[in-house]
Structure formats: structure tokens, C-alpha cells
């Protein structure tokens, strides 16, 4: 990792939805805390002028939380430049070079469709704009194992490894970072964090809305590629990794990659796919589309620590509620001294990481009720709750990339290992739709998840009771 700070930010796709919803508010927050004072050069095909870009940025910040610091907004607008041009036209990169002026260590952020990543990276190389520069690539990094390897080759041909930042905003979330900290900062956890004490690990990411204006992209990705291959596999890696050998982020990356490489190839019975009723009527969706908007997955990690422990992952749109949680369910006590603590009468002890809405870590344990009888109930002890004023993921990740800190970014070997797991599914017949779409928008296929992949109807014990019910 180099110590030099980027002296300019070039944002490809500045007129797009991602920039409007996430990036502009992050830049505004960085300016407010004096973390951004370099030129920000927006690049897009649209024939805009600087005034229109200013209006777009102002609208974005007003919608995301309001303009609470007009001076900071004015400073941000004063940093902006705009270059209009086709990404395949060498003149576009000549214009970027001119806009960079005296900047010598720019960071290029590719907030553009994945199909354009290689085009822009090659264009930067041909125009001699990559020396001493960094490139930040949005997910998905490839659409399968072969394309991910190809994109890695193209990126490495233009930029050194430590100058390539594969961004996944989930890794910048405070709650995700706390998983790593909680695991290795507490000595009480390590003795039970293995197959001898843990019965299962369940990760759920549900959304109560549909694809909205992302349908064209979703048709090329689906839930498996859009969420599970990156967001959820990153959570699995943090939960399952061995203690890193050192404190440097390279050691963490190595252990995360080992987890993904140890995931057993998936089979047909490990997957359930679903599609919400009405998806095929969305704009830009094929009339006979079999793209999944819901996916449930069972996987096993073939390692000494996790052998035999099932990991259940599920995600989908138009479900009962928007929430993301991890539930690590412990095995019941070896001897049942109290009848009311039998597993058939209630959930065993568990550790719960709530990632959204609102971050928290909670430990569930049984306590005796008042009275002579030895009966009790399970209660949660909250160990952590989200605090106001935290950096947003994009604010944190953009700042880290511009100083060359790769701790919260995905490394090449981990990206390819994750795609290899998905590739094992695509090499079977599992990608054929299972069951039929039924009911309204908040209902799923008739295939029972408990029958198909072993997930219980209420795996995390909170608001998502209806996720698995036909």
C-alpha cells in the first residue's frame, strides 16, 4: 500500500443512478469533515454542462438527508468538472487528461455498467492515464468465473495489484466491520466458534421492494449474482475465517479467500430459486424471464473448524420486510436438566448480528422465571447498538481508496473463489426454475424451503415469519 493520497477523483457514470443515490451524498459528507479537497471530474456520455451537473448534485444531497451545511455544498460544487464523451472514443480520454490539469495521482471510479469496465480500463491505459493512479471498480466484478478472470487480467495489465480496488459497499458498513472485530477481540468466543458447539449459521437479506428501475441490470444478474455471490459470501468469509497471522489487511484477505476456496461444490438440492409475481411485467424484463428474485442456498465449508455445519443463505425482493441478519445457532446442552429447555420447546441459544435496519449484536440465553419451579424463558442481551453519526459505506470506502487503504475491498483470489462456487451450480441442472410462481408480490414459490434446503420457517426469530410460506 502506497502512502500517497489521490490528488483527483474521476467519476465515470456521473449522471447515473448510483452517483445520484450514493456517491454524491458521500462526497458531500467527506467535504463536510474536510476529507475531500481535490478536483472531482465527472465523466458521462450525456451532453450536459457544468450547471446541469451542479443541479443534479444539489438534488441528490437534498433528497438523501437535506442540505445542512450550505458552505460545504458550495465547496463540493466548486470542485466539480465535467467531461462528456463516449467511453470508446480516445478523444474522451484526451479531454479527461486536460481536465486533470496538474493532478498526477488520480483515482478513477467506474460507477458504470459492468460491460464497460474493460473498455474504460483499456482506454485509461492507452491514454497513459494509469501511471501512479488507482482504479475503483463497482460490483459485480465479472458475471461468472471466466469473465472475472478476464477482467482481472485486463485490470492488472494497466494497474498494479495494490492500485485496484474492487468495491462492495457492504464491506464498508459499520455492522459488517464489527463482525470481524467482535470475533477476534473477545476471548470467550473462540472456544465455541466451531462445529462442536454451533448447529448452523443462517444469513438473511430481505427487501420489501422490487427491482424498480434496475430491471435491465437485474435481468443480467439475478439474486444469486447481485447479492449472494458478493454481499453474502463476504459475510460468510468474515464469520468463518481463521484468525489472521498478522494485523495487516493482507493477512485478513488471505484467510477470507481460504474460506471461499473451502466451500464444497453446490448441488441441485442446495438451491431454491423464486420469482415474485409480476416481475415479468416490469419494464425491461423479458416476458418469459426465469431470472430469480429470490434465492435460498445451503452450503458447507470443508475445513477442520466447520466440517458438517450447514450454512443457510437467503435473499429476495418483495418479501415481508427489509432486514439483514445473521443468526449463529448453538447446539443444545448435552443433558436436559430442565424440561422447558428442550430443543423441541424453543430455539437453542444463539448469537445474532443484526446488520439492518439498525445494527446490533445480541446474545440469546435462557433465564429462570420467578418462582419455585425451574422454568424460564429465553431473552436477548444486547451487546452493541448502532450509533448516530457513523460514516456511510461509500464515504468510508471512497476515502480509503483515495489513500490507498485496501483493507475493506475484495481481493482477486476471493472474487474468483466466490465465482467458482457459483460456477459449480451452473455446471448442474440447478439453474432450472424450481416450482412455480404463486400468489401476490409478497409470496414465493410453493417449494418448501425446509424440504428443499433445510431452512426452518422462521430462521432468525424476528420479523420475517412469512418469508418461507407459500
Question: Given CA atoms 47, 50, 55, 59 in this order, what sign does their dihedral have?
Answer: positive
Q: Indicate left, alpha or beta for 449 from its phi (over 0: left) and psi (-120 to 50: alpha).
A: alpha
Residues 6+ apart with CB under 8 A from 63: none
The span from the CA of 299 to the CA of 77, in Å, is 48
Which of these, 396, 397, 330, lies nearest to 364 by C-alpha position? 330
Q: C-alpha grid cell for residue 126?
A: 492507452
> Exactly one of 20, 54, 74, 231 is catalytic; which is it?
231
Burial environment of residue 211 by CB neighbours within 10 A (0 to 12, 13 to 18, 19 or more): buried
- Phi–psi pair at 91, nearest 5 degrees: -65, -30
Is 132 an annotated catalytic residue? no
Please report the DSSP string for 318-362 in residue order.
S-S--EEEEEEEEPPPSS--SGGGSGGGS---EEEEEEESS-EEE
Residues 6+ apart with CB under 8 A from 250: none
The Cβ of residue 368 has, within 10 Å, a number of other Cβ atoms equal to 12
Give yes or no for a contact between 61 and 73, defined as CB atoms under 8 angstroms apart: yes
Task: Indicate which residues carry an active-site annotation.
Answer: 231
Amino acid at each position: 500500500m502506497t502512502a500517497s493520497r489521490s490528488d483527483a477523483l474521476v467519476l465515470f457514470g456521473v449522471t447515473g443512478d448510483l452517483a445520484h443515490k450514493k456517491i454524491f451524498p458521500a462526497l458531500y459528507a467527506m467535504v463536510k469533515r474536510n476529507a475531500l479537497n481535490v478536483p472531482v471530474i465527472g465523466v458521462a456520455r450525456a451532453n450536459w454542462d457544468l450547471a446541469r451537473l451542479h443541479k443534479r448534485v444539489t438534488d441528490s444531497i437534498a433528497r438523501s438527508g437535506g442540505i445542512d451545511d450550505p458552505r460545504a455544498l458550495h465547496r463540493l460544487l466548486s470542485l466539480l468538472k465535467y467531461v462528456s464523451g463516449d467511453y470508446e472514443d480516445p478523444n474522451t480520454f484526451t479531454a479527461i487528461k486536460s481536465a486533470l490539469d496538474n493532478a498526477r495521482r488520480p483515482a478513477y471510479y467506474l460507477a458504470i455498467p459492468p460491460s464497460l469496465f474493460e473498455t474504460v480500463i483499456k482506454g485509461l491505459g492507452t491514454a497513459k492515464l494509469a501511471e501512479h493512479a488507482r482504479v475503483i471498480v463497482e460490483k459485480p466484478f465479472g458475471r461468472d468465473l471466466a469473465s472475472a478472470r478476464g477482467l482481472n487480467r485486463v485490470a492488472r495489465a494497466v494497474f498494479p495489484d495494490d492500485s485496484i480496488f474492487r468495491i462492495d459497499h457492504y464491506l464498508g458498513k459499520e455492522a459488517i466491520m464489527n463482525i470481524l472485530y467482535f470475533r477476534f477481540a473477545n476471548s470467550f468466543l473462540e472456544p465455541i466458534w466451531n462445529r462442536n458447539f454451533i448447529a448452523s449459521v443462517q444469513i438473511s437479506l430481505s427487501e420489501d421492494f422490487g427491482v424498480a428501475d434496475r430491471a435491465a441490470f437485474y435481468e443480467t444478474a439475478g439474486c444469486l449474482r447481485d447479492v449472494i455471490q458478493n454481499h453474502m459470501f463476504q459475510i460468510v468469509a468474515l464469520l468463518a475465517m481463521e484468525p489472521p497471522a498478522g494485523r495487516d489487511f493482507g493477512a485478513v484477505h488471505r484467510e477470507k479467500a481460504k474460506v471461499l476456496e473451502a466451500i464444497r461444490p453446490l448441488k441441485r438440492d442446495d438451491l431454491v430459486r423464486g420469482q415474485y409475481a409480476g416481475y415479468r411485467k416490469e419494464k425491461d424484463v423479458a416476458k418469459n424471464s426465469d431470472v430469480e428474485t429470490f434465492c435460498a442456498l445451503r452450503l458447507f465449508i470443508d475445513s477442520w473448524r466447520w466440517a458438517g455445519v450447514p450454512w443457510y443463505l437467503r435473499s429476495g425482493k418483495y418479501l415481508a420486510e427489509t432486514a439483514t441478519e445473521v443468526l449463529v445457532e448453538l447446539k443444545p446442552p448435552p443433558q436436559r436438566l430442565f424440561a422447558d429447555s428442550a430443543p423441541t420447546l424453543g430455539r437453542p441459544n444463539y448469537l445474532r448480528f443484526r446488520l439492518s435496519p439498525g445494527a446490533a449484536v445480541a446474545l440469546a440465553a435462557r433465564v429462570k422465571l420467578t418462582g419455585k419451579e425451574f422454568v424460564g424463558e429465553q431473552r436477548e442481551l444486547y451487546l452493541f447498538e448502532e450509533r448516530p453519526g457513523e460514516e456511510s459505506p461509500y464515504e468510508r470506502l471512497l476515502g480509503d481508496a483515495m489513500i490507498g487503504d485496501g483493507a475493506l475491498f475484495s481481493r482477486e483470489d476471493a472474487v474468483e473463489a466466490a465465482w467458482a462456487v457459483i460456477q459449480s451450480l451452473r455446471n448442474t441442472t440447478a439453474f432450472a426454475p424450481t416450482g412455480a410462481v404463486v400468489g401476490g408480490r409478497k409470496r414465493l414459490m410453493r417449494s418448501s424451503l425446509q424440504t428443499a434446503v433445510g431452512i426452518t420457517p422462521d430462521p432468525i426469530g424476528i420479523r420475517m415469519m412469512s418469508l418461507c410460506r407459500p
